[in-house]
């Protein structure tokens, strides 16, 4: 098709093509009435990645050591000496510790290094504490929506599904807070003394001689062991050495900031009555505190991360 432009004939098809390109471009930049803003390339596939946060967060998280033990990542003497004094275990020594680790690594499959963020994938994580403020929260479906759900110590789901959900992909514990896991749940083992490794080996070797159906604490191929250097990092860098050592809950929170691209926190802090109680326990006329853990400081840090929009924190009731 042609039309006259002065004395020349001009084809209309190139003009239509240019118009179509302009229209498509406008649609792409103004879809459904919303104008898209230019966005810098992100490290992960989430709407907002942790590493897209402010410089303060990037500086503090960049100091994090390798979080899990493996043949490649064993403690230095300095990190071991800090770790062994957590509970006054003076009889421990680095040689015994390393020999115990060698034996343990013959039983379990140590984790490989944590993968880096990918622009085509979003690793969303929910960290579920055990605070009594979860009672009546109805957070269950929201918790289960996440790819990874980390539960802590004796945190349970049966009978509390409406408030805490049903999904567990990773479970944090140590011997005194242990609960048996199913065959698909990762055990995040937080050891505080050399005896904890011996306890784990003894449990995993149960039934090896004649009783194969004995239920073990966890799948030996899904056990990740927190590194003493990471515990030290959380205590010194995140908490400014306040309290004797971090709680398992706060260790799990900081660990999630290394493992995940997007983090949501549930069930931390005191309940509405000011007691640091658990959602699965009802105590009357008692005001539970946090013991050796700097609970108030940990809670303030979680709130700070929330206010900076680094994480999302659902406080409960």
Q: Catalogue the active-site residues.
A: 245, 293
Backbone angles phi, psi at 281, to 5 degrees: -135, 140
81 membership: H or E segment, kind and range: helix 77-84
Indicate the angle between helix axes 94-105 and 194-204, nearest 10 degrees: 20
Q: Coil, strand, or helix at residue 192?
A: coil
**Is 49 within 8 Å of 42 (Cβ atoms)?**
yes
Q: What single-letter DSSP state applies at residue 110?
A: P
Q: What single-letter DSSP state applies at residue 88?
A: T
Instruction: Give me the DSSP letters along 274-307.
Output: S---BTT---SS-----TTS-HHHHHHHHHHHHH
Instruction: Indicate if the alpha-carbon torsion angle 267, 273, 275, 280 is positive or negative.
Output: negative
Beta bridge partners of 226: 68
Q: How far apart are CA 48 and CA 261, in angstroms?
A: 8
Non-local (6+) Cβ contacts of 15 within 8 A are none
Q: How far apart are CA 218 and CA 203, in angstroms?
A: 9
**Is 32 within 8 Å of 21 (Cβ atoms)?**
no
Pairing state between β 8-11 and 2-5 = antiparallel
Q: How far apart are CA 213 and CA 115, in angstroms?
A: 34
**Is 255 within 8 Å of 227 (Cβ atoms)?**
no
Q: Coil, strand, or helix at residue 262?
A: strand
């Amino acid at each position: 098709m042609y039309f006259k432009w002065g004395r020349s004939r001009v084809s209309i098809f190139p003009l239509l093509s240019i118009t179509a390109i302009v229209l498509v471009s406008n649609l792409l930049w103004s879809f459904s009435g919303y104008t898209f803003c230019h966005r810098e390339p992100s490290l992960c596939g989430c709407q907002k990645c942790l590493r897209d946060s402010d410089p303060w967060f990037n500086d503090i998280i960049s100091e994090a050591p390798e979080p899990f033990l493996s043949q490649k990542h064993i403690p230095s003497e300095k990190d071991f000496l800090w770790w062994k004094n957590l509970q006054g275990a003076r009889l421990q020594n680095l040689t015994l510790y390393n020999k115990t680790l060698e034996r343990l690594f013959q039983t379990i499959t140590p984790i490989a290094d944590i993968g880096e963020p990918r622009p085509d994938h979003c690793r969303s994580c929910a960290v579920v504490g055990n605070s009594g403020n979860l009672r009546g929260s109805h957070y269950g479906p929201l918790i289960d929506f996440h790819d990874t759900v980390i539960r802590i110590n004796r945190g349970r789901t049966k009978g509390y599904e409406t408030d805490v959900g049903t999904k567990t992909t990773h479970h944090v514990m140590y011997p005194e807070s242990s609960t048996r896991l199913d065959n698909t749940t990762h055990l995040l083992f937080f050891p505080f003394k050399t005896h904890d490794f011996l306890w784990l080996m003894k449990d995993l070797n149960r039934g090896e001689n004649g009783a194969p159906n004995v239920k073990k604490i966890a799948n030996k191929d899904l056990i990740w062991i927190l590194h003493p250097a990471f515990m030290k990092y959380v205590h010194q860098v995140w908490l400014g050495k306040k309290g004797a050592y971090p709680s398992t809950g706060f260790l799990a929170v900081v660990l999630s900031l290394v493992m995940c691209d997007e983090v949501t926190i549930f069930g931390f802090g005191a309940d509405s009555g000011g007691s640091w109680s658990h959602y699965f326990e009802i105590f009357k006329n008692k005001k539970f505190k946090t013991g050796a853990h700097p609970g108030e400081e940990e809670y303030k840090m979680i709130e700070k991360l929330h206010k900076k929009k680094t994480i999302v924190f659902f406080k409960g009731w």
